[in-house]
């Protein structure tokens, strides 16, 4: 396979991970400081949990969630509406040949963590996780 081509059998490269993390930090700073010109977005505290980049680094997908999850649809619409301005602001701090196109997706990992916590809190699961008795023939 040619160098730089997408290989679906492998995970992201170190470069993709490094650039994604730099974009995540830069985007978080831009949103935290309110460098953008959208008053609606400024009303929310937005968490950028992860940024995944395409193999050619031209597209960056940011996983976002407003604090507490309230207004997620409004935040997502606002980020998408202002993606060109945010792209410009994020690109200022990057030393890349191209400013990556920013795409925004709601981060649902918080919901999955809550579901897992609820599952582990169930009495049936707690009983399975408890240390076995010494007298128990199962173990």
Domain architecture of the chain: domains with CATH: 14-129 (3.30.300.20)
The tens digit of pLDDT for each residue in 57-81 reads 999 999 999 988 888 999 999 999 9
Q: How far apart (Å, rounded) are the C-alpha atoms in residues 16 and 19?
A: 5
CA 47 remoteness from chain centre: 8
| 1 band by pLDDT with thresholds 50, 70 and 90 | very low
pLDDT at 134 over 70: no
Question: Sign (positive/negative) of CA torsion 102, 104, 105, 107?
Answer: positive
The tens digit of pLDDT for each residue in 84-109 reads 999 999 998 788 888 999 999 998 87
Element (H, E) at 64: strand 59-66
The tens digit of pLDDT for each residue in 107-130 reads 887 555 666 666 677 777 777 777
The tens digit of pLDDT for each residue in 38-64 reads 888 888 999 999 999 999 999 999 999
pLDDT the model gives residue 61 = 96
Can you give the pTM of this predicted structure? 0.72
pLDDT the model gives residue 114 = 60
């Amino acid at each position: 396979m040619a160098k730089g081509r997408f290989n679906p059998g492998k995970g992201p490269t170190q470069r993709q991970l490094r650039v994604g993390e730099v974009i995540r930090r830069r985007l978080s700073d831009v949103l935290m400081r309110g460098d953008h010109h959208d008053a609606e977005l400024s009303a929310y505290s937005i968490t950028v949990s992860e940024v995944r980049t395409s193999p050619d680094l031209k597209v960056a997908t940011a996983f976002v969630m407003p604090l507490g999850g309230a207004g997620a649809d409004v935040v997502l619409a606002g980020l998408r509406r202002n993606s060109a301005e945010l792209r410009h602001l994020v690109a200022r701090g990057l030393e890349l040949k191209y400013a990556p196109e920013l795409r925004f997706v709601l981060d649902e990992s918080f919901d999955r963590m809550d579901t897992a916590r609820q599952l582990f809190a169930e009495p049936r699961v707690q009983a399975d996780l408890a240390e076995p008795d010494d007298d128990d023939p199962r173990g």
